Structure 1
Amino acid sequence: MSDDALPSAPAMTPEEKRAELREKIEAAEARNEQRTLADQAKAAQQTATDFVKAHPLATVAGALAIGATIAAIVPGPGRRLRKKATRRGSALAGALAELGIAYGAQLLDSANQAARVGQDRLEDIGDSIGDSARSVRREAGYLAGEVSDTARILKRKGSKKANRIARKVHERLNH
């Protein structure tokens, strides 16, 4: 049955659309209520990991900015404490930057490894295609030889028959 033969659904009114949207929202809220805190934490972790993988440089820059902000905001009663807080904030920013750089390096290594695996797979596919092409070429050559032999045999048989018929016609005409 073609798509044209299927009955089309009647157009929804705006009220029906709103009711359907409300139902979807309520269902989503019910699902969210059923999710445990662990599920939400896992989802948040996955979202953060995906963001860091997608934007490693932005993550490092953000870590540096947060570290510098913390270092500037931490209050201290005197200059000595402020210097300590600044050093601690700078140390935190440095640690976060190193963490971001290490994670970025790990991502680059993973990307390089994935590229190598992809190259290996493409090489394997190329070899397989080449082997198949050679096999097809051999088979085509064999079949062409068979066709050529068959054509030669048919030509020879046809020529013999034509000569015999011509001889018989010639003999009948001369008698």
Structure 2
Amino acid sequence: MADTEKREELKNRIEAGQQRHADRTVADYARDARDSATAFVKEHPIATVAGGVAVGVLIASIVPGPGRRMRRRATQRGSALAAMLAELGTAYGASLLDSLGHAARAGGDRLEDLGDAIGDGARDLRREAGAQSETVRESARRLTRDVGKKTGRRMRDLRTRIAQ
């Protein structure tokens, strides 16, 4: 019974896979192939250039020709293809480095702006604290003066009462 269930499950899986395969279009396969190739080139630019050069040399050496002149042309075409692939890889690498440079500059600018904002905030807090301390100092001076006046008046009133 267990074998029958396993066969049935396997049969259902195969049918589901065939249905998924039938539902996909050529455009889906082409899109997947494009995405895979782009991802590989982005992850391995040097390997891509080296592979392009190797394929170019291989094609140039395999191309049959009636004579030496034909082989020379095929070799030149293969070399041109390899050079073009190498240039493409170099351009991609330069573009990647340029993008990294822009990202680094943008990050540095953001850090600089953040530092400026923190510095401005600290200066504002220092000014505010200075103003508050000046206000407290002035209040303490006035309070001391007023208490001194009131104490002096009370002492004077107390002396006059004692003297009478």
Name the TM-score class by shorter chain.
Answer: 0.5 to 0.7
Sequence identity of aligned pairs in percent? 57
Q: Note if 1:93 corresponds to 2:82.
A: yes
Q: TM-score, normalised by structure 1?
A: 0.60
Work out the CA distance in 2 between the residues paired with 1:29 and 1:162: 104
Post-superposition CA distance 1:60-80 (Å, at most 9, x none): 222222222222333445444
Q: Which residue number corresponds to residue 64 of structure 1?
A: 53
Q: Note if 1:52 corresponds to 2:41.
A: yes
Query: Unpaired runs of 5+ in structure 2?
Result: 1-15
Residue 54 and residue 166 in structure 1: after superposition, are their counterparts in 2 closer, same or farther (change >3 A)? farther
Comparing 70-79 with 97-106, greater Cα deviation is found at 70-79
Q: TM-score, normalised by structure 2?
A: 0.63
Query: Unpaired runs of 5+ in structure 1?
Result: 1-26
Work out the CA distance in 2 between the residues paired with 1:167 and 1:35: 107
Work out the CA distance in 2 between the residues paired with 1:108 and 1:122: 21
Work out the CA distance in 2 between the residues paired with 1:116 and 1:159: 64
Which structure has the highest helix share of the two?
2
Q: Note if 1:105 corresponds to 2:94.
A: yes
Work out the CA distance in 1 between the residues paired with 2:124 and 2:22: 61
Residue 121 and residue 36 in structure 1: after superposition, are their counterparts in 2 closer, same or farther (change >3 A)? farther
Post-superposition CA distance 1:91-136 (Å, at most 9, x none): 1111111111122222222222222323332232222222222212
Q: Which residue number corresponds to residue 114 of structure 2?
A: 125
Q: Note if 1:41 corresponds to 2:30.
A: yes
